Structure 1
Amino acid sequence: MNISIILAAGEGTRMKSKLPKVLHRVCGKPILEYVINASKGAEIEKNIVIVGHGGDSIREYFKDDSVIFKTQPIGDNTPYGTGFAVMQGIDCIEDDSTVIILYGDTPLITKDTVSKLINYHNSCGYDGTVLTAVVENPTGYGRIIREETGNILKIVEHKDASEEEKEIKEINSGIYCFNGKLLKYALGKIDNNNAQGEYYVTDVISILKEEDYKVGAYIIEDSREIHGVNSRNQLAFSEEIMRNRINSNYMKQGITIINPEHTYIEEGVKIGRDTIIYPGVIIEGNTEIGEDCVIKQNTKILNSIIGDKVEIESSTIEDSSIGDSTHIGPYAHLRPNSRIGKNVKIGNFVEVKNSIIEDNSKAGHLAYIGDAEVGKNVNIGCGVVFVNYNGREKFRTIVGDDAFIGSNSNLVAPVIVKELGYVAAGSTITKEVGEGVLSIARAPQVNKEGWVEKKGYKNHK
């Protein structure tokens, strides 16, 4: 059995935040979620997360039966260190298991790296394996000292390294793979007789080496994967790398992203091939976008389903669906539970909320459509308002197929405009408009001759 122990108990004081460090988000997901997903993606059967500070919030977010939470005690007299944290999961480790130790603040780690480390550890017959990286500037990191055979001789901390050892660029990532039985054995032998008074996992490597167990090292291909998040600056670095990684994957699938550096797409969004995405676009949550769409600048889409050949320009779409060949925007807003049909036009400054608009209908500009059912081939003129709220309750408006709603009209719900019903411009409709009926609901126009001269306004130019 493969087991992961993910250390997520750190306070994260440098984040200067009330939120636990591992719940801060990178491309829409908590940092810890990426680590858990990498572990699960590597087909690790048992995932143990060690929590401490903010543990209740972390447990509340990850309501997942496949994750086992263990709490690291917190207090003035409680020892600390990576070794002590790993000890909290010791009762979940089987003797015949392979255990990988990961960190909850390294969101860039991938399932491929986790798999490769475990496979390397097992295929080479190591009792302990360190994930290492080769970096240009190793200052501050523990150096990997190897034997002639390539096995690890020792890990030397930077402050203890000789000048020759400081020239070594292979460093300790802090991620390890162990035989389960030997890990438990070595954890029982480590102590905190050091300057910090802490228990370190690094000491497990030393103990195994001293007792002639076989200890190896696997060099990671991309050293950025071991980047930890301890500050807002490091969070921004991880965000940039993850965003570029996600966008690169979409482009490999046949999606055009004109400027990847200025396009934000969360992992898990589905996008069809030959869709074009312009700069400034934000796509979040459980969104699905079809093929041959054009998503133009400064559009935001959240938890929505977009059909094929849809064009959206500078608009906001929330928890809604849009049918094929529909045009949205610019500056339109689809609020939650809007269902837009095929070949529909929702134009400039049109807001739709909790409404159905069926195929081939149009609302070209400056309209509010709330709590409505609009049929096919309906024309909604400029300045139309679906008056859905009386101050206490919301009511629905129904507009039948082929109806025409003239500009600057108010439809006061609950009200029905039947099929082929016509509403004259400037009307306020409070009663049903029958099939094929023209409804005019406005006061007669009154022209008062000589009014300007009587008021003395004539010379005020």
Structure 2
Amino acid sequence: MLAVAVLAAGKGTRMKSELPKVLQPLAGSTLVERVLASCRHLAPQRQLLIVGHQAERVEASLAGQPGLEFVLQQPQHGTGHAVQQLLAPLEGFEGDLLVLNGDVPLLRPATLEALLEQHQRTRAAVTLLTARLDDPSGYGRVFAADDGRVSAIVEHRDCTEEQRRNPLINAGIYCFNWPQLAAVLPSLTTDNDQGELYLTDTVGMLEPAMHQEVADAAEISGINDRLQLAQCEAALQERLRRHWMAEGVTFVDPASCTLSEGTRFGRDVLVEPQCHFRGATSIGAGCRIGPGCLIEDSRLEEGVQALYSVVRQAVVGAGCSLGPFAQVRPGSTLAEHCHVGNFVEVKNSSLGAGVKVNHLSYIGDADLGERVNVGAGTITANYDGVRKHRTVIGAGSKTGANSVLVAPISLGENVTVGAGSTLTRNVPSGALALGRARQLVKENWSGPQSG
């Protein structure tokens, strides 16, 4: 059996933020969400989050996480004190305890799997994750035999000059045999510079103690300030881009583009510079995105082309083209081979196959049938000051330039709307609709006369 405990009680004062540190965003998720996701594949029987600073806010942000138990640490007196709070919730538990930090978000699932596998294979009392750093200054050094057995952990300030040349450091990630850990936790003391209870001290009390070295030291990067947050964001973005390039996606300028963990790409997608993908976004095979696009929580089918455009919470069908400077807002669905062009906004609307909205138009709360052609400057006036109303335009209809359709209104199939018309009543199929004032021309007009 396996229990996972995530330490998430700290204040994170160096972040200089009203937001708790573990709720800071990283590639579309919070730090603690990423930590929890990293161990989900291990299928732990218990998941415990140790909270303290702004505990209610942290708990509220994770309310949708199934099976997550919250344990309060108040006040906070160190990592050992945090894990002591598990003595009551885990009373009688006979399995292993994996201890993670809520501000160490880059651990790969495979790394945790390897840590757990070695811990169980060697029947260790504790197995700690270690890393080799080019500059280990400030970290506790781990001294171990070739078989992985740990003989000592010495804090940097207590190391001799020779010991400081050891590059193997303690990453602060542990897998314990819980009954053995529970037996020694009450023995921890505050006999240190900070006057806190350190979980590290339990390693010297448990036998055998083993270590598992991580292959990529960047995985153990912790976040204490905004600079480290930015560094982790850069590392994660590089990891995500490398993954998708290996899967057949082309990034013209990779460093200028950002992804979320939930972004998915088909093969032969071309991503131009300055494109950003957020949330649960899917980009179909053969799409060309950018330059200068933002796609968020949306699905683009195969062969879509988007240029300097924004798409949020929408579905764009195969072969559609967007932009430049188009915005497809939440609730919109575009069928295949639609064109949404220059400075066009589509909101909460459905566009049938082959619809063209080429220039300077607003389509809001509307349903357009197949092959509708929307003239430049057409507006669906959907709001009466109190409620939103829908516009329906039948297949094959056309609106002239600068038309205003005042909802609620329905146009049948193959309707033609004259340029400059303002329509307030339904129009039957096959009709020509005009709604504009008669043109008045006064010849020989000399303009206003001065008094």
* Correspondence for 2:383 among 370, 386, 389: 389
**Structure 1 outlier segments of 4+, above 4 Å:** 147-150, 453-456
* Correspondence for 1:273 among 264, 267, 276: 267
Residue of structure 1 equivalent to 2:59: 59
Kept in 2, the 8 Å contact 1:39–1:47? The answer is no
Write the deviation string for residues 338-368 of structure 1: whole angstroms up to 9, x where unpaired.
1111111110001111111101111110011
| Superposition map of 1:133-282 within 5 A | 133-147=131-145, 150-208=148-206, 213-282=207-276
Q: CA deviation at 1:60?
A: 0.8
| Superposition map of 1:282-301 within 5 A | 282-301=276-295
- Rounded to whole Å, the distance in 2 between the matches of 1:150 and 1:360 is 65
SS of 1:264 mapped into structure 2 = coil
Distance 1:66 1:454, change over 3 A: closer
Kept in 2, the 8 Å contact 1:95–1:179? The answer is no
Residue of structure 1 equivalent to 2:40: 40
Amino-acid identity (%): 37
Distance 1:419 1:167, change over 3 A: same
Kept in 1, the 8 Å contact 2:309–2:326? The answer is yes
- Rounded to whole Å, the distance in 2 between the matches of 1:336 and 1:222 is 40
* Correspondence for 1:85 among 82, 87, 105: 82
1:347 aligns with 2:341: yes
Residue of structure 2 equivalent to 1:73: 74
Distance 1:428 1:167, change over 3 A: same
Residue of structure 2 equivalent to 1:306: 300
- Rounded to whole Å, the distance in 2 between the matches of 1:372 and 1:146 is 68
Kept in 2, the 8 Å contact 1:282–1:301? The answer is yes
Equivalent residue letter for 2:87? I
- Rounded to whole Å, the distance in 2 between the matches of 1:221 and 1:305 is 35
- Rounded to whole Å, the distance in 2 between the matches of 1:273 and 1:5 is 38
- Rounded to whole Å, the distance in 1 between the matches of 2:428 and 2:213 is 76
> Normalised by the size of structure 2, how large is the TM-score?
0.96
Distance 1:309 1:172, change over 3 A: same
Distance 1:149 1:255, change over 3 A: closer
Q: CA deviation at 1:148?
A: 6.7
Kept in 1, the 8 Å contact 2:148–2:212? The answer is no
SS of 2:157 mapped into structure 1 = helix
- Rounded to whole Å, the distance in 1 between the matches of 2:147 and 2:438 is 99
1:408 aligns with 2:402: yes
- Rounded to whole Å, the distance in 1 between the matches of 2:88 and 2:188 is 17
- Rounded to whole Å, the distance in 2 between the matches of 1:370 and 1:170 is 60
Write the deviation string for residues 160-213 of structure 1: whole angstroms up to 9, x where unpaired.
1111111111111111222111101111211112232211111101122xxxx2
Q: CA deviation at 1:44?
A: 2.7
Distance 1:191 1:436, change over 3 A: same
Q: CA deviation at 1:147?
A: 4.4
Equivalent residue letter for 2:116? I
Kept in 2, the 8 Å contact 1:406–1:424? The answer is yes
SS of 1:90 mapped into structure 2 = coil
Residue of structure 2 equivalent to 1:379: 373
Equivalent residue letter for 2:67? S
Any stretches of 5+ residues in structure 1 without a counterpart? Answer: 457-461
- Rounded to whole Å, the distance in 2 between the matches of 1:383 and 1:95 is 68
Kept in 2, the 8 Å contact 1:42–1:112? The answer is no
- Rounded to whole Å, the distance in 2 between the matches of 1:106 and 1:195 is 24
Kept in 1, the 8 Å contact 2:128–2:172? The answer is yes
Distance 1:453 1:105, change over 3 A: closer
* Correspondence for 2:96 among 83, 95, 98: 98
Residue of structure 2 equivalent to 1:459: none
Q: CA deviation at 1:452?
A: 2.9
Kept in 1, the 8 Å contact 2:296–2:313? The answer is yes
Q: CA deviation at 1:389?
A: 1.5
| Superposition map of 1:359-370 within 5 A | 359-370=353-364
Range that drifts further, 359-368 or 61-70:
61-70
Write the deviation string for residues 229-276 of structure 1: whole angstroms up to 9, x where unpaired.
110101001111111111222222222222221111101222211111
Aligned residues: 448
- Rounded to whole Å, the distance in 2 between the matches of 1:182 and 1:282 is 48
Equivalent residue letter for 1:89? L
| Superposition map of 1:103-142 within 5 A | 103-142=101-140
Equivalent residue letter for 2:364? G
| Superposition map of 1:7-26 within 5 A | 7-26=7-26
Write the deviation string for residues 43-77 of structure 1: whole angstroms up to 9, x where unpaired.
33322111100111111111223221100012xxx
Equivalent residue letter for 2:222? G
Equivalent residue letter for 1:131? L
- Rounded to whole Å, the distance in 1 between the matches of 2:431 and 2:353 is 22
SS of 1:107 mapped into structure 2 = coil
Q: CA deviation at 1:96?
A: 3.1
SS of 1:145 mapped into structure 2 = strand
